[in-house]
A and B are shown apart, each in its own frame.
Chain A
């Protein structure tokens, strides 16, 4: 739906992140590797919101951290704002960090309890030497507090004096401090009350319009993702199973896993709820230490065929850009 520029802001190709499981007395041996992110590819157009959903442990957050280069990358390529950042050093990454920020899941853990709110929000400015003039620095912090709907006087306080929703606003203000292009929201509302969730989502949406932000919105709650996303990416066991625009995905989910996820979303109307067909998945998510051969979803898939356990499905893209990895469509 958003086809403004041909060049994507972010393009991720075949991204792989692996965690070695060390063994032995000195931690020298390797018992195996967890493929936390295994060949993830997607593009992100400037100004859009990509929702990322999946069960816990499917590699959503790891993907986000890898894009920020907070983790070692085992393979693949990340191009951000026209620049390949896959192999940049710490020092080379520093100027780029200004343009990509993160909002964290836990509003209690994300703010240093020993710092005043104004220092928390101002820290990115200080880190990038944009706090030279005291008056400008103060004005910027007040502006940021105002943008996220907090009183300028609240900057004097400490994080423990705020509620969860207010803290999340502070986290957002910090992320906005350096005028970033991309914000990775790692389950920013899952720790909040439902009523507060809506406020934060609305805040994020209005900020996006005002400041032209691009979001990667990680969540495990499909209804939240449906509301805010332009496109939705479904992940399972470190792999992308489906990417589609949010209307297309919710109307026409192709992958059996997506169908199961969608059927698990409760509906607010009791009548509709009674008629809702629920696809129940059996079993557990397999260990990423030892993922199943072929399609990673086949042991739990209600419509698995013999070939599913033999070879991994190809990525198929249809005419409306609906991408799915499933043998049913290849």
Chain B
């Protein structure tokens, strides 16, 4: 059974088509990578799935239910969204930011329950944030910030996490840290849709890839099926000499983070 299913999702701004009849499906336990060149519609698709942009047409289902029939708060408990750029507007401490992730679970007047506290502790240690928990967010480095924001999203225990370029502007080691957190979330029976530009990371971490180009799905399937010389040429306008062997290298590369 699919956790999330979008059928024929379309979106246009001022007659300019952003998404044209895009289908998307997400199964439990999987990490789906959304790839494609800039302007392909990846972020827009993610925003539509997160509910912050309304599609012009198409059907979006969460499990068996249409998304419109699910109360806003329940949606927020089941789907977490990590936008491309998140600005934290006040110098909150790391712990306070992660607490925000529990908002969808709180009663209007309720305080953090023991269960909430437990989850917060778990996420803080899982994201390796213990040494920073009392530091103001604005004093953290880029890599630390990315981990805090992801930890905030994970703190709501979403069965679906939508992450828009969570590794942009991170060095390779921090990229691996973040991807490992996403993989771990999937391994607990949840699912992730992640927008990536780094095809090596996409090939290595995602069970399936969906390649978008000009608002349409160009290819979807296992990394080896999607990352073909033809698809890369069509979507990214790049030509690789001896492309198949280059792609084989891409697919078989092994990443390992040196333990800290």
A binds B: no
Q: Which A residues are closer than 8 A to B by beta carbons? A: none
Q: Which B residues are closer than 8 A to A by beta carbons? A: none
